[in-house]
Structure 1
Amino acid sequence: MAKAFEEQRRSPDLEALPFEDRIGLLVDREAAERDTRRLTTRLKIAALRQTACVEDVDLRTPRGIDRAVFAKLVEGRWIDRHENLLVTGATGLGKSWLACALGHKACRDNRSVLYHRVPRLFEALALARGDGRYARLLKSLGRAQLLILDDWGLSVLTAAERRDLLEILEDRHGRASTIVTSQLPVDTWHGAIGDPTVADAILDRLVHNAHRLQLTGESMRKRSAKTITLDDNQNTDSISHRP
């Protein structure tokens, strides 16, 4: 507000405004600054892997994304209802990018978000178990309104990893929302967990109240590479035909 007041003093046009209007401008400036600081803090804590926004999601490329379903996901009421989202599909289709875009939108909506790649998360939990931070790390994972678990199912879980995942999902079940991205179809997740009994418990807490995005089509990375190659060829042709 002090900065805004100094700007008003240097602006002769604002001196003509009524006192109430000038105070209103100061309050609006303070509110905007606080919102910006809160968003910056939330994004820093979230540690999203990619800088992605829902406004930049390409819905024209055929990937199996229903516009109406995606609009509801962007709206975010599913997070208020503590529902989950499962994003599956082959590599290169933008699963992580979509998850980060929805995480960014949740931060903008004043929700707490955490992003973790599953292999790195299990490593962090193993280290935390050894140095006494395990309970504190589990508490932070359970407290986030939206937890993004990226690259799930790259290998069959060990016994310790199964226990860790069950603890995380048990703490969050009915209290918070989780996004899981995976190259594996959901119906194969039971085998990827390894132990049938623990798999039943994990999937019961994760799948039954979850929305699903099954991505299909050509890899976005391949598509991007083709576009770059095409542009390079066009540039080469235009250079070779110059007089």
Structure 2
Amino acid sequence: MLMNPTMEKLQALKLTGMLEALGEQLKSPDIEQLSFDERLGLMIDREVTARDNRRLKTRLKKARLRHDACMEDIDYRHPRGLRRDKMQQLLSSHWIREHQNVIITGPTGVGKTWLACAMAQKACRDGYTVQYLRLPRLLQDLNLARADGRYVKLMTALAKTDLLLLDDWGLSPLTESQRRDLLEIVEDRHNVKSTLVTSQMPVDHWHELIGDPTLADAILDRLIHNAHRVPLKGDSLRKKHSKLAKSELTS
């Protein structure tokens, strides 16, 4: 039988999707009812799906998202000012295609990071490269990278990423070198890539948080003028989940 060598060649060529589909066809008693073209089409479709899934798995692994969040699990019932129509528009990833930005603001625990990760996960599903970074940690890493020779390589990698998710913007005042690093990041990405920012501080306070008026103007001009804003409000979702957990334990 010639099928075994064929399957071995599919394995050697790493056509695992076609190999699995062929194996299933051989076990199906009704497969003879399909034409050669139909069987080949099913095998090719399986290979395309398998490759898409592997690429998605790789993108998600490289993204290192803080939460395993997805758009289907977004809670619109909690009163935090989250508009379903606005989110449906953003979850289409059109803003990434247009090299625009998104800014999510709101108090602690309202779900900013989770929501940002859901949007980033959808971007991965849509074929974009993503990287999640906490801004305070990134600025520390850039300072170390400048000392050990990794600075240019790290900045180049940030510039190439389709969607850069900067979490915890504005937790503390910036130093002079941090302001300049931040300007370089947003300058490299302006109108060519997209950035998603989460912050506890309203955008109106960012200028004073950055510190230097000239650098603040330059940074914010490149970041907020083409940004979609998602302002959240309300009580902490962590408190809500904590109360539910206590209720279940005592019931």
* Bin for the TM-score computed over the shorter chain: over 0.9
Range moving further from structure 2, 11-20 or 168-177: 11-20
1:188 maps to which residue?
Answer: 205
After TM superposition, the structure 1 = structure 2 runs for residues 23-102 of structure 1, keeping only pairs within 5 Å, are 23-102=40-119
Distance in 2, matches of 1:229 and 1:188, equals: 37
Distance in 2, matches of 1:116 and 1:210, equals: 19
1:14 maps to which residue?
Answer: 31
Secondary structure at 2:91 match in 1: helix
Distance in 1, matches of 2:85 and 2:68, equals: 24
1:238 maps to which residue?
Answer: none
* TM-score after normalising by structure 1: 0.94
2:235 maps to which residue?
Answer: 218
Structure 1 alignment gaps of length 5 or more: 236-243
Equivalent residue for 1:168, pick from 171, 185, 188 = 185
One-letter amino acid of the counterpart of residue 220, structure 1: L
Distance in 2, matches of 1:163 and 1:15, equals: 67
1:141 maps to which residue?
Answer: 158
Do the aligned residues in 2 keep the contact of 1:142 with 1:172 (CA within 8 Å)? Answer: yes
Distance in 2, matches of 1:211 and 1:4, equals: 44
The CA deviation at 1:16 is: 2.7
Do the aligned residues in 2 keep the contact of 1:8 with 1:15 (CA within 8 Å)? Answer: no
Superimposed CA distance per residue, residues 189-232 of structure 1 (whole angstroms, 9 cap, x where no aligned partner): 11111111111110111111111111101100001111122222
The CA deviation at 1:7 is: 2.2
One-letter amino acid of the counterpart of residue 209, structure 1: N
The CA deviation at 1:81 is: 1.1
The CA deviation at 1:144 is: 1.1
Distance in 2, matches of 1:43 and 1:80, equals: 19
The CA deviation at 1:182 is: 0.5
Distance in 1, matches of 2:45 and 2:199, equals: 43
CA-based RMSD: 1.0
The CA deviation at 1:2 is: 2.0
Superimposed CA distance per residue, residues 20-52 of structure 1 (whole angstroms, 9 cap, x where no aligned partner): 111011001100000000100111111111100
- The answer to whether the aligner puts 1:127 opposite 2:144 as a matched pair is yes
Range moving further from structure 2, 158-167 or 5-14: 5-14
Range moving further from structure 2, 11-20 or 71-80: 11-20
Distance in 2, matches of 1:100 and 1:229, equals: 27
Structure 2 alignment gaps of length 5 or more: 1-17
* TM-score after normalising by structure 2: 0.91
The CA deviation at 1:12 is: 2.0
